[in-house]
């Protein structure tokens, strides 16, 4: 399928895991992709080589000025920006009793400020084009909360309120903003976990398996493409039925 033919997407944090899965699906559907990373420069180079029409940018998602510079550079390189996926995210888990102020701030900065930074930066070009799709990567934990993840859950819940507000402010300009809330997605990170623990997780999910980056990428494909041209302000949970 070529659902994204003629479109340019920015995907943050696409050197591995979910971001890389989205990149692969977007390229397979005809999109040109600008992606970012924090430090994996070598991996980014390999991705540029592997896929056509793809360029990597080292850009800290939590840095306001860096987002502006990124958008200017992508506009120079690609000429337009149709889709933005704020995917980059980190965890610094701890019980509240033990959570440092620094770990609170860092998670909010990378996971939540990042969406503000890049949305602000793409606003002007998208307003000019009178179209755009912004997709923010939340988590099921942003809906339910989770012990030991107060900072992460707050950042992911914040993305939902932010996205619904953006959808209301910019709908009249044909700029859509939606949220994807993944459940338990099996990536390189989860491959390191104890198999017994992972099996217990799988069994507690109605669809009896962990999700794949491709499962998340397909939701992003829908939201990034014109198939979803009448969908905005929504949270799509992609979690095998974990949370209903």
Binding residue positions for NADP(+): 13-16, 87, 152-156, 185
Scanning 34-42, 92-100, 119-127, 221-229 for contacts with ligand NAP by CB under 6 A, the matching segment is 34-42
Binding mask 75-114 for ligand NAP (x = CB under 6 A): ------------xxxx-------------------x----
Tokens standing for 67?
Answer: 């987002």
Strands (E) in the chain, as ranges, are: 8-11, 32-37, 54-58, 83-86, 132-137, 175-182, 235-238
Number of H helices, E strands in the chain: 10, 7
Q: Does 26 bind ligand NAP (CB under 6 A)?
A: no
For residue 37, indicate whether it is catalytic: no
How many Cβ atoms sit within 10 Å of the Cβ of residue 112? 24
Scanning 76-84, 168-176, 182-190, 223-231 for contacts with ligand NAP by CB under 6 A, the matching segment is 182-190
Candidate residues 10, 15, 160, 220; the one interacting with ligand NAP per rule CB under 6 A: 15
Provide the minimum distance between the beta carbon of 32 and ligand NAP in the complex, in angstroms, as a whole number.
19
Residue with tokens 């912004």: 134
Scanning 14-22, 126-134, 165-173, 201-209 for contacts with ligand NAP by CB under 6 A, the matching segment is 14-22
Candidate residues 68, 94, 146, 187; the one interacting with ligand NAP per rule CB under 6 A: 187
240/185 Cα distance (integer angstroms): 10
Q: ∠ at Cα 73 (67, 78), nearest 5°? A: 120
Active-site position among 37, 57, 152, 230: 152
Q: Does 60 bind ligand NAP (CB under 6 A)?
A: yes
| CB closer to ligand NAP out of 40 and 234 | 40
| CB closer to ligand NAP out of 136 and 228 | 136
Tell me the backbone φ, ψ of residue 137, rounded to 5 degrees: -90, 105
Q: Does 139 bind ligand NAP (CB under 6 A)?
A: yes
187/181 Cα distance (integer angstroms): 16
Tokens standing for 45?
Answer: 């180079």
Q: For residue 33, give the nearest of 5, 3, 8 by alpha carbon.
A: 8
Annotated binding site: 13-16, 87, 152-156, 185
17/3 Cα distance (integer angstroms): 22
| CB closer to ligand NAP out of 83 and 185 | 185
48/46 Cα distance (integer angstroms): 5
> Could you list the residues that contact ligand NAP (CB under 6 A)?
12-19, 36-40, 60-62, 87-90, 110, 137, 139, 182, 184-185, 187, 189
Residues catalogued as catalytic: 152
């Amino acid at each position: 399928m070529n659902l994204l033919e003629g479109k340019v997407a920015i995907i943050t944090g696409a050197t591995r895991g979910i971001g890389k899965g989205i990149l692969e699906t977007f390229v397979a559907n005809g999109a040109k992709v600008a992606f970012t990373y924090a430090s994996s420069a070598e991996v980014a180079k390999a991705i540029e080589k592997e896929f056509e029409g793809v360029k990597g940018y080292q850009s800290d998602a939590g840095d306001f000025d860096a987002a502006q510079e990124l958008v200017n550079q992508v506009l120079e390189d690609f000429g337009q920006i149709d889709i933005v996926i704020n995917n980059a995210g980190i965890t610094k888990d701890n019980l509240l009793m033990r959570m440092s102020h620094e770990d609170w701030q860092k998670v909010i900065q990378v996971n939540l400020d990042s969406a503000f930074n890049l949305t602000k930066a793409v606003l002007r070009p998208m307003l000019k084009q009178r179209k755009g799709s912004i997709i923010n990567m939340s988590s099921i934990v942003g809906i339910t909360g989770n012990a030991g993840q107060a900072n992460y859950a707050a950042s992911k819940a914040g993305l939902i309120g932010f996205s619904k507000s953006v959808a209301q402010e910019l709908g009249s300009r044909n700029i859509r903003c939606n949220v994807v809330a993944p459940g338990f997605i099996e990536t390189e990170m989860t491959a390191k976990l104890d198999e017994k623990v992972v099996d217990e997780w799988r069994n507690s999910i109605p669809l009896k398996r962990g999700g794949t980056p491709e499962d998340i990428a397909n939701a992003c494909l829908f939201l990034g493409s014109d198939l979803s041209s009448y969908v905005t302000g929504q949270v799509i949970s992609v979690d095998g039925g974990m949370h209903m």
